[in-house]
């Protein structure tokens, strides 16, 4: 767990050197598997120009990033080429850009009716349905249980929750032996908030568990982006840790208090910012 968090922080810190959209999209693609307990290396591999044939061996579906930098770097700064790999063969190269190459890969998977790799299927499903908005709502659920990596126990661990309509995340802790065995269904609070999809922000979602606030967060990924939904007060109180500035992150207490105005949607980067809060707290 601590290794995953360290690698994720390294990815996010790369934005300090390059904050252009191209880099931000690459950070999302490289980083999202960490949230779903899958490995980026299962579908994105990095190699030197002379190692392409060797690296694609055993790679059924994925992207090959070619660089002259140290291939141990999670996200190379100088990329020579990005290639699409299917069934251990490079089927398309010369793409230069990770996010564009991923869009091409998704198109080929649909056109050829190829099943997502089992080891990264959750990553592909979320990126398909949330980022690319293909195929409706999220149908898969992934869970993770473990001991507190920081050793601080439940006293330092908060119960956190957010529901953005198309994506729900929760985190909770307990301090007795094997206390995380049972899964508990969240209890509805009776509160409602607006959330956004590709048609606008007039949809409503029922809040549950510790979700006692409505959220509205804005930022820029491809174009103007807005995220709305239910969220815990503890996340609202720490917008810096959530990864977005206080100027574009606001919470309110009233029922449906986060407005319903229509917006242009492209909000995966903001979703990832909120999800990073759950991993690092």
Tokens 């606001």 sit on residue: 250
Would you tell me how many other CB atoms lie within 10 Å of the CB of residue 118? 8
In the chain, list all ranges with CATH 2.10.60.10.
154-280
Q: Can you read off the two tokens belonging to residue 191?
A: 């509160």
Query: pTM (2 decimals)?
Result: 0.50
Quote the CA–CA distance of 56 and 93 in Å, as a whole number: 13
pLDDT in tens, the chain (281 residues): 556 677 777 777 777 777 677 777 888 788 878 777 787 777 888 889 888 888 888 888 889 999 888 877 777 888 889 999 988 889 888 887 888 888 888 888 877 778 888 888 888 887 777 666 666 554 445 566 667 654 444 445 667 888 888 777 787 777 788 887 777 777 898 999 998 876 778 889 999 988 999 988 775 433 336 778 999 888 787 654 434 433 467 889 999 998 865 443 334 444 554 554 444 44
3-state secondary structure the chain: CHHHHHHHHHHHHHHHCCCCHHHHHHHHHHHHHHHCCCCHHHCEEEECHHHHHHHCCCCCEEEEEECCCCCCCCCCCCCCEEEEEECCEEEECCCCCHHHHHHHHHHHHHHHCCCCCHHHHHHHHHHHHHHCCCCCCCCCCCCCCCCCCCCCCHHHCCCEEEECCCCEEEECCCCCCCCCCCCCCCCEEEEEEEEEECCEEEEEEEEECCEEEEEEEEEECCCEEEEEEEEEHHHHCCHHHHCCCHHHEEEECCCCCCCCCCCCCCCHHHHHHHHHHHHHC
State residue 23's pLDDT score. 79
Count the Cβ atoms, other than its own, within 10 Å of residue 189. 14
In angstroms, the CA 267 to CA 134 distance is 15
Burial degree of 206 (CB within 10 A; 0-12, 13-18, 19+): middle
Residues 194/201, Cβ–Cβ less than 8 Å: yes
pLDDT at residue 142, rounded to an integer: 54
| CA-derived radius of gyration, the chain | 20
Per-residue CA distances from 52 to 57, 100, 150, 157 (Å)? 9, 20, 39, 44
Q: What is the pLDDT of residue 252?
A: 92
Distances (CA, A) of 15 to 86, 103, 269: 30, 21, 12
Q: So what's the architecture of 154-280 in CATH?
A: Ribbon (2.10)
Amino acid 193: pLDDT:
94
Question: What is the structure's pLDDT at 191?
Answer: 94
Q: How much is the pLDDT for 87?
A: 86
Residue 134 pLDDT: 66
**Two structure tokens written together for 120:** 């990264």
The sheet that has 249-252: what strands, in order across it? 168-171, 160-163, 224-232, 211-220, 249-252
């Amino acid at each position: 767990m601590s290794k995953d968090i360290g690698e994720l922080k390294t990815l996010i810190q790369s934005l300090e050197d390059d904050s252009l959209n191209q880099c931000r999209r690459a950070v999302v693609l490289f980083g999202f598997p960490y949230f779903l307990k899958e490995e980026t290396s299962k579908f994105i591999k990095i190699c030197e120009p002379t190692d392409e044939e060797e690296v694609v061996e055993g790679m059924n579906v994925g992207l090959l990033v070619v660089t002259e930098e140290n291939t141990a770097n999670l996200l190379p700064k100088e990329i020579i080429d990005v290639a699409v790999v299917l069934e251990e063969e490079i089927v398309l190269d010369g793409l230069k850009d990770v996010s564009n190459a991923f869009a091409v890969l998704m198109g080929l998977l649909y056109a050829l009716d190829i099943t997502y790799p089992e080891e990264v299927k959750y990553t592909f499903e979320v990126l398909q349905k949330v980022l690319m908005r293909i195929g409706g709502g999220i149908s898969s659920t992934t869970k993770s249980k473990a001991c507190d990596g920081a050793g601080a126990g439940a006293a330092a661990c908060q119960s956190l929750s957010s529901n953005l309509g198309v994506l729900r995340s929760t985190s909770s802790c307990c301090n007795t032996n094997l206390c995380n065995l049972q899964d508990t269904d969240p209890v509805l609070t009776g509160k409602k908030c607006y959330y956004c999809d590709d048609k606008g922000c007039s949809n409503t979602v029922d809040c549950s568990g510790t979700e006692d606030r409505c959220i509205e967060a804005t930022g820029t990924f491809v174009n103007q982006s807005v995220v709305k939904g239910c969220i815990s007060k503890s996340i609202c109180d720490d917008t810096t840790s959530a990864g977005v500035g206080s100027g574009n992150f606001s919470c309110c207490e009233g029922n449906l208090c986060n407005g319903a105005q229509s917006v242009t949607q492209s909000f995966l980067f903001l979703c990832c910012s909120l999800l990073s809060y759950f991993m690092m707290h």
